Amino acid sequence: MKIGFIGAGNMASAIVEGIVQKGFSNPEDIYLYDISTEKVQAFAEKVGAHALNDPQEVIKTVDTLILAVKPNVIKGVLLEAKDAILQNDPLIVSIAAGTSTEAIYDVFETDQPIRIVRVMPNMNAMVGEGAAAVCGNASATKEDLATIIDLFNAVGKAWPLEEKYFSIFTAIAGSSPAYTFLFIDSIARAAVKNGLPKDIALEMATQAVLGSAETLAHSKENPWTLIDRVSSPGGTTVAGIVELEDNAFISTVIKGIDATIRKDEELGKK
User: Is 71 assigned a ligand-binding role in the annotation?
Assistant: yes
Instruction: For residue 69, say whether it is annotated as part of any ligand binding site.
Output: yes
Is there a binding annotation on residue 204?
no
Ligand-binding annotation for 8, yes or no, is yes
Can you give the length of the chain in residues? Answer: 270
Beta-carbon contacts of residue 265 (< 8 Å; ≥ 6 apart): 167
Q: Is 261 annotated as a binding residue?
A: no
178 marked as part of a ligand binding site: no
* Residue 238 among known ligand-binding residues: no
10 assigned binding-site residue = yes
Q: Is position 70 annotated in a ligand binding site?
A: yes
Burial of 52 (0-12, 13-18, 19+ CB in 10 A): buried
Consult the annotation and say whether 195 binds a ligand: no
Known binding-site residue numbers: 6-11, 68-71
Known binding-site residue numbers for NADP(+): 6-11, 68-71
